Structure 1
Amino acid sequence: MASSEQITSPFDDSTTALEVVDGVDLTGKRALVTGGASGIGIETARALAHAGAQVTLAVRDAAAGDAAAADIARTSGRDDVRVAPLDLADLASVDALTQAWSGPLDILVNNAGVMDTPFGTTAQGWEQQLGVNHLGHFALATGLHAALAAADRARVVAVSSSGHAASPIVFDDLFFERRDYDPGLAYGQSKTANSLFAVEATRRWAGDSITANALMPGGIWTPLQRHWSAEKRAAAEEQSRQAEAAGLFRMKSPEQGAATSVFLATSPLVDGVGGRYFEDCREATVVDQLEGIHGVMPHALDPDDARRLWDVSEQLLAAAR
């Protein structure tokens, strides 16, 4: 039985993904990383391959995926990095991947995502950020449940964000059909959903020895910010500089940003641990208000909301298929 004590580690916000897997042996393990062609996704996949896992990159852009796989193969010395097409905005694509998968899956990293997008909808008509960040990944994870259950103590990693603080799950208007669309609120709701998924997946799948945890990777400049205006990007960069100068915050490289994902995927310190939210390779403290980007809000770990969101998500998928 996993300890209820808050999980700590010898790592911190400067640790890289490769440093996390130093001494870790994933030989014989299989991992799937969504959004594995760029940003923290490619560094997550690289570290898992470096530790001996057979890694599959699930990506929307096949050419970018092939280039990333070649790069990971070159740096890790492995020749079995695979690429699978995946468009999280279309259930048909998600279902094609899950139906084609065969054999056990030891590690699933739900890393891909969109942020602060203009209003848009998925192929199923769902608001894009909740549709891609949560519902697409929910369909993927539940579709791969049998493969996860077939592995020995499989782990699911859900990349959330401090953005979760912006919004709980608004169950009576998930898709902004009755309120003005706000990109930040939509992103926040989707990141809360990522954390709640980890809470309920751990509860529902305990009998299969599957655990799931959520995380905040840190502040990293990646393609995730591509929907920001030049003015918003400049303001964010200035805010980051001021926070760093005051010692409150430190921007991370993609290699550092991937560290907590890799920690949750591989570390013996979280063996059997699930349903929690981590940052900087340690469990975050539950707070009523974030301290900058640090901490986790109670609504992102609420077991009743987690159960309700799972039920609603199942209903949405069933209605869409």
Structure 2
Amino acid sequence: MRQNTLGRGEIGVSELSFGSAGIGNLYTPVEPEQAAAAVDAAWDAGIRYFDTAPHYGIGLAERRLGEALSARPRAEYTLSTKVGRLLEPLPAAEGDDLANGFAVPATHRRVWDFTADGVRRSIEESLERLGTDHVETVFLHDPDQHVAEAFGQAYPALERLRAEGVVGAIGAGMNQTAVLTRFLRDTDIDVVLCAGRHTLLDQSALDHLLPEAVARGRSVIVGGVFNSGLLADPRPGATYDYTAAPPALLERALRIKAVAERHGVPLRAAALAYPLRHPAVASVLVGTRSAEEVRDAADMYGRQVPDALFDDLRAEGLLEGGAR
């Protein structure tokens, strides 16, 4: 599998990367053996970049990922985690965490914290859950409602940690482009993780974010390439950005699927290939919860997708004119 380097640094990532929210029991439970098998399948497919966060399953994803990778040579893979939510234990578990999207007991509550102390504490606790002494990359996680604190306290803390060699690369991860573009312009981050905004259904990252990344020699990791399901399997009831897909978007996705199939390409393969056509994109992050899903993603990544497919999508008004 192809490897790329983040920004102007030395941190390498595989072009296809493993998102761990699924093995943190996103929406439905995943058995421990199934989670371990998913990580094993990713390794067998050549994936060497694994992303996680305390938010995913109230630490479950970090623990499972660390355990599954514990027997692998640490120098052969790259880890990223995130800061911004601290996990505070509750006196007793009451109910589940499904209100936050995870089928786990509600043993902790999340506390937003983008202070310098919060950043350091979050990383220390993540390292303990992961069972490692370092992570290569740390992202500020969803600072949408905490922008001033993220820029004023959390980012400088990450910059100091990078200078100290505690982490190799720093960045921010969000579902929007405006604040990520500001991070690229106003800070010295290495990478941004942009979810859902550079896909076959939403090319808004092309307006400012991706050109800014290219101009400044920074990297973009693209998540949410299936827009939470619609581009994986467009059908009535499919989801788009975690809610029911509007009829107009479902129709658009079906039209994109028809164009792809005319070229003999599964829609999932086209959805994975599209972001990687841009020079700023270093990796596509796919959330998987089973070995079968991992193997399918690897298979789709390996498919040949002709330029003519994207030319036809533009010709039919299904891709923005400026899209590559």
Q: TM-score range by the shorter chain?
A: 0.3 to 0.5
Q: Whose strand proportion is higher, 1 or 2? A: 2
| Relative contact order, higher structure (CA 8 A, sep 6+) | 1
Q: Which has the larger radius of gyration?
A: 2
TM-score (norm 2): 0.37
TM-score (norm 1): 0.37
Q: Whose helix proportion is higher, 1 or 2? A: 1
